[in-house]
Amino acid sequence: METEVEFSGGNLGTDFSNAISLAGNKVTNLGTNKLSLSINASSGLFSGSVVDPSSGKSLKFGGAILQKQNIGSGFLLGTSRSSHVALGE
């Protein structure tokens, strides 16, 4: 299944997203922006890191997936504000 991970708000220079492919617990980054993402299927939690294309800095993020709805939501902590992370179609 192909979907998007979207990063918005907070201290990000600009909103951005990465296309990914999900096959079971295996996540493949389909975007040009560096991204790593791990999903714990038993708990529904996800975590990872992404390079902010505006600053070039690697940032960590985390969240939870609502498996019946096929969406996830989380956060990315910035220097003074948090950004929203959305995982889904």
Write the pLDDT tens digit of every residue in 29-74: 998 899 999 999 889 899 999 999 999 999 999 999 987 888 899 9
- Averaged pLDDT for residues 2-9: 95
Domain boundaries, the chain: 2-88
Angstrom distance (rounded) from CA 13 to CA 50: 14
pTM for the full predicted model: 0.91
Q: What topology is assigned to 2-88 in CATH?
A: Lipocalin (2.40.128)
> What is each CA distance from 71 to 4, 44, 57, 67, in whole angstroms?
10, 11, 26, 7
Model confidence at 7: pLDDT above 90: yes
Query: What is residue 89's predicted lDDT score, i.e. its pLDDT?
Result: 61
- 74 backbone dihedrals φ, ψ, rounded to 5°: -165, -160
Query: What is residue 25's predicted lDDT score, i.e. its pLDDT?
Result: 73
Q: What is the dihedral of CA 82, 71, 19, 53, to 10 degrees?
A: 0
Q: Are 33 and 50 in contact (CB under 8 A)?
A: yes
Please report, as a single letter, which amino acid is at residue 4: E
Please report, as a single letter, which amino acid is at residue 38: S
8-state DSSP, 51? E
